[in-house]
Amino acid sequence: MIIQGMDGKALLKVAIFLCLIAFSTGRELKVKVKNKHHTAIYNHTLATILVEYASAVYVSDLTELFTWTCSRCNDLTKGFQILELVVDVQRCLQAFVGVAQDLNAIVIAFRGTQESSLQNWIEDLYWKQYDISYPGMEGAMVHHGFYSAYHNTSLRPGVLNAVKRAKEVYGEIQIIVTGHSMGGAMAAFCGLDLTVHFGCQNISVMTFGQPRIGNAAFVSYYRERVPNTIRVTNGHDIVPHLPPYYQYFPHKTYRHFPREVWLYDLGFGSLVYTVEKVCDNSGEDPSCSRSVSGNSITDHLRYFGVKLSCDVSAGCRIVMDNGLEAYRRADSDGNVIFSRDISSSVLRMNVESSEEGRSL
């Protein structure tokens, strides 16, 4: 529960907020659903794989991460090969781009906020509404902080460079973008960016515990451009409830894009099992996570039983050994990029699989 460990002022803020939520979940106006044919298909198996990528990107030992030997890299994501690992040291952001041969896809993953600063980050989401316009989309407003974390840091050029290199080799291969928490917000901006500004046609986005990132106009652009998006939410996870949605002010408020898949427990005692509810195409299905109060940080930090935070809460630090030096580039701000030549082993694997008759 978020209530624990909060001071009086914060508690008051939460109490006010919960009242607003209670107010806003009363009645629901019918939302007109456009483009019915554009619907993302939820695939449970894929979700359990992608959540492991969203977890791995939290690993702070960069050597283990880059060589894909970390303990979180050893389950359903075995064999993944990172092309580029981008670390924005100043803002404590991290992302990677790589090739998942079994998925036949490029996977891009973004890390969320460090657990040590999560509480502050969540409190800020109640009150700070620094909107900026999304360029080229009339009336679309987005959250400044999330927008900048992707668009105004070393992450975007790092990610784009890797995607460009990958496309030179693989052509129109599928690109899957994922992330947890703020990393989910960045994943959505990345998927939109690749579609709108780089003409990528084969983009899927799946996020876990993602906050709202824009207004209704933004959402209608987003769902047109990146229809293949799944937004997984979990139980009482507080973050998908933020920044708040006020249904009586539909054009003034933040709004989620579809399609939500809500995980919740059903049953009692030893008969508890998890339901995966595929929600309606409005983005704000009142019978999904909005039907409960968002009051849990615990539910935010674990999806499908997978831990989505750093192992050490020592803040932002870089751990690496000298073996990684050969791959390292740094910009003038001290941000680092580790980059692997795509033409070596990845390409060979790919050619072998093509010979077996699998088309890429």
Ligand X SMILES: *[C@@H]1O[C@H](CO)[C@@H](O)[C@H](O)[C@H]1NC(C)=O
Chain residues binding ligand X by CB under 6 A are 43, 45-46, 103-104, 148, 152, 172-174, 201-202, 360
CA distance 173 to 151: 23
Instruction: Rank residues 152 and 287 by Cβ distance to ligand X and give the closer one.
Output: 152
Contact predicate 15/143, CB 8 Å: no
Instruction: Rank residues 2 and 261 by Cβ distance to ligand X and give the closer one.
Output: 261
Query: What are the Cα distances from residue 69, in Å, to 27, 62, 72, 105, 115?
Result: 50, 10, 8, 20, 23
For the CB of residue 51, give the shortest distance to ligand X in the complex, in Å: 13
Strands (DSSP E) contained in 242-344 are 260-266, 273-278, 302-303, 306-307, 328-330, 336-339
Instruction: Rank residues 2 and 83 by Cβ distance to ligand X and give the closer one.
Output: 83
CA distance 21 to 3: 16
CA distance 66 to 295: 35
Decide: residue 127, CB within 10 A, 0-12 exposed, 13-18 middle, 19+ buried.
exposed
- Residue 127 in tokens: 């009150």
| Given the residues 181, 204, 220, 282, the one annotated as active site | 181
Contact predicate 59/311, CB 8 Å: yes
For the CB of residue 77, give the shortest distance to ligand X in the complex, in Å: 11
Could you give phi then psi for residue 73, rounded to 5 degrees?
-100, 10
For the CB of residue 123, give the shortest distance to ligand X in the complex, in Å: 22
Instruction: Rank residues 62 and 149 by Cβ distance to ligand X and give the closer one.
Output: 149
Single-letter amino acid, residue 118 = L
Active site residue 287: no
For the CB of residue 54, give the shortest distance to ligand X in the complex, in Å: 15
CA distance 127 to 64: 38
For the CB of residue 31, give the shortest distance to ligand X in the complex, in Å: 28
For the CB of residue 260, give the shortest distance to ligand X in the complex, in Å: 19
**Residue 325: DSSP 8-state:** G
Instruction: Rank residues 158 and 235 by Cβ distance to ligand X and give the closer one.
Output: 158
Instruction: Rank residues 166 and 337 by Cβ distance to ligand X and give the closer one.
Output: 166
Active site residue 181: yes
Contact predicate 104/86, CB 8 Å: no
Active site residue 237: yes
| Given the residues 193, 237, 285, 299, the one annotated as active site | 237
Catalytic site positions: 181, 237, 300
